[in-house]
Copies of this chain bind each other. A is one copy, B any other.
Amino acid sequence: MGRIITLLTDFGTADGYAGAVKGVIKRTAPQAELIDISHDVQPFRPETAAFALLNYYDQFPVGTIHLAVVDPGVGSPRLPLLIITENYFFIGPDNGLFGFVLKREDYRAYEILPGQLPGSAKSSTFHARDIFAPAAALLAKGTDTGNFCRPLDRGAQPCANGLNRRANRLEAAILCIDHFGNVITGLHRDDTIIKKDEKISRIGLKDFECNQICQYYAQKKTGQLLALWNSAGFLEIAAASGRAADLLDVDPQRDKVVLTVESKNK
């Protein structure tokens, strides 16, 4: 069995662009096993893809290569990256896409050298096909990274979590609205922005307010709003069998989830 390469892009599928990426990989590394994660990530917003990566990257077998391309700056000087963590490889543009993963992992970062990759025609607009896919395929074949990469003397670009605390008031920007209309923030249950002797006493988003974090959606009746730590560990505002984002008419760019934090001993 070959190495697994997962694919996350904002290419859609209908134009055959994602198909071209698959073809390049299979041509160079016929043994590689391709696994689609998504080609429908929100275009032009690497932070949304950064959240998606968190949901799956560490579920895969050790040695998996995660290819992820949401790349509004394609053709500009942003670097093509290879990231190596203890258990995984990540390949994609250096624009914050790997920011959430790398907050959790020790890593080494490398610049991919396009001139060292197979394939002659290099377009300026399709690096997924011409740079990232060939690099993933070489890696899958076991090619030494020294042959097509050089170490970077800095870390990868970070990805902001959108948290802002002043005294007992914690504002959390909206990371994304997921497929179910859940409103997901960048606040993780392990974030140290809330201290161990503190608790959340109030959660609000527009007209919704609550003082309790639920365990699962069906604790509330159909259509009722609730807050919970989702399966990736992030705080979200949801609705039982409904779409919280629609019920509250949420604008993900402007609206904030506002929390009140207080001491447990109080």
Contacts and interface: CB of A to CB of B under 8 A. Distances in A.
B26 A60 contact: yes
A12 B179 contact: yes
A44 B217 CA distance: 12
B61 A215 contact: no
A218 B40 CA distance: 21
Contacts of A253: none
Interface string A35-65: 1111111111000100111111111110010
A24 B74 CA distance: 32
A56 B217 contact: no
A143 to B, nearest CB: 18
A56 B216 contact: no
Contacts of A123: 230-231
Contact of A44 (B64, B129, B219, B241): B241
A182 to B, nearest CB: 9
A72 B12 contact: no
Given A23-B60, A59-B27, A75-B215, A228 B125 contact: yes
Contacts of A73: 218
Name the residue in A13, A18, A43, A64 with the highest tally of chain B Cβ atoms < 10 Å from its Cβ: A13
A239 to B, nearest CB: 11
B230 A125 contact: yes
Contacts of A11: 179
B36 A36 contact: yes
Contacts of A24: 59
A182 B15 CA distance: 11
Name the residue in A24, A31, A37, A241 with the highest tally of chain B Cβ atoms < 10 Å from its Cβ: A37
Contacts of A120: none
A76 interface: yes
Nearest to A43: B180
A58 B26 CA distance: 12
A8 B22 CA distance: 13
A17 B64 CA distance: 17
A73 B51 CA distance: 25
Given A34-B35, A125-B230, A215-B124, A179 B15 contact: yes
Given A14-B42, A15-B179, A129-B231, 19 more contacts: A12-B40, A14-B41, A16-B37, A16-B53, A16-B55, A16-B56, A17-B55, A17-B56, A17-B179, A19-B38, A19-B59, A20-B231, A22-B56, A23-B56, A23-B61, A73-B218, A75-B217, A125-B231, A126-B231
